[in-house]
Structure 1
Amino acid sequence: MAQLSLSWLGLGPLAASPWLLLLLVGASWLLARVLAWTYAFYDNCSRLRCFPQPLKRNWFWGHLSLGPLYPVLRLVHPKFVAPLLQASAAVTPKDMTFYGFLKPWLGEGLLLSAGDKWNRHRRLLTPAFHFEILKPYVKIFNESERRRTLESQGVDDFLKAKAKCKTLDFIDVLLLAKDENGKELSDEDIRAEADTFMFGGHDTTASGLSWILYNLARHPEYQERCRQEVRELVRDREPDEIEW
């Protein structure tokens, strides 16, 4: 059949050999990938067996009912979360099954990088995580709140107030960061980190605030407790002057 098809294409019967070789190579690569994924899957399952397992509702589908099987361990208690967050990047590899789709957009910033590159960038960007970077923004937030408007003048005032603060900003940290050898971040690295922080910052903040407001709306008694706590904190000040 292969020879007939190739003869019909004008390649002749002798051309079947390279095509068959290419087919065998492709099939071998695919088989190797499937075997590697299967081994990794069962290895992960074996590692997770020391944790309590969910009840199985079905002898065939397990607790998932349907769909592909994928071992997931969710850590909730701080006692278990802390060691994971404090572990080195070498022992906490990142699963690129989902994150890989973000790489063309975010580049190899802190979210997607690993190993030595992650360690180097994390050291260089440590000042950006310090609370001292956030404190000067409180005054700007108050000023912006007093001028609540969508007009361009409000934006100009905001930028002027930021310029007067004369404090390090996240972009400043990116531009001024140098490692122990005096090497700076490349333009590609700066772009990747800026995109990563923009994505990670707005996504986590929006999700967190939405979840908080949703639960406060569902539980008015806790909403009132939060309201009273805020009133107590600003009791001796103007309500539009929020302090750190």
Structure 2
Amino acid sequence: MTKLSVNINKIATLRNSRGGDVPNVVQFAKDVQRFGAEGVTIHPRPDERHIRYQDARDLKPVVYTEYNIEGNPVESFLKLVLEVKPTQVTLVPDAEDAITSNAGWDTIKHKDFLVDVIKEFQQNGIRTSIFVDPVLEQIEGAKATGTDRIELYTEAYAHQYGLGNKQAITPYFNSAKLANELGLGINAGHDLSLENIKFFKDEIPGLLEVSIGHALIAESLYLGVENVIQMYLHKLK
């Protein structure tokens, strides 16, 4: 079964929009785990416009499933991850002013940088994953960095699937096949939803984990958080 990790950034965005501590990020992390989620994901950015660095620290004692911290490995992020020591760190090459992640790593161009960062995290007992586009050369490049896993960037798939183009899964299938052959673990995320998750999961061999935030929170406004998590778990079986 593919694990479901719930990205709780949007809960922090809602909290920050009003000030105070409602909704409470730590309590929400406790609740999604109680409802069946097998992981909690956060993506702190340097400007802390949603998840704050202190949130990452506060969540550490309460996340008893997998704790995944995503982000661009700038110096402040490196220090935070080494302090908190989550289960997994997912390296994402997003610009500081990006609204959301919009591209995977060029694993060939940035190989030396990634090798050094990944080695430091692994030496501290943190599993590493890197955000990549479904391009075979980039999967091969990811292997050369020494990373434990890749996270397939699924925005293109989600967009095309919504248009009725199921052939959009092909580069993801090919990338996953190669990753399996190379011994890389496979995660996926970005714009995955109740509408498109089952087809993606069924077509991707060896999919270990999906990280879902925006769609899951939006769907929960209508259907309820506990119910939506159960719906995802059912589709991921």
TM-score range, shorter chain: under 0.3
- TM-score of the pair, normalised by structure 1: 0.22
- Bigger radius of gyration: 1
Higher relative contact order (CA 8 A, sep 6+): 2
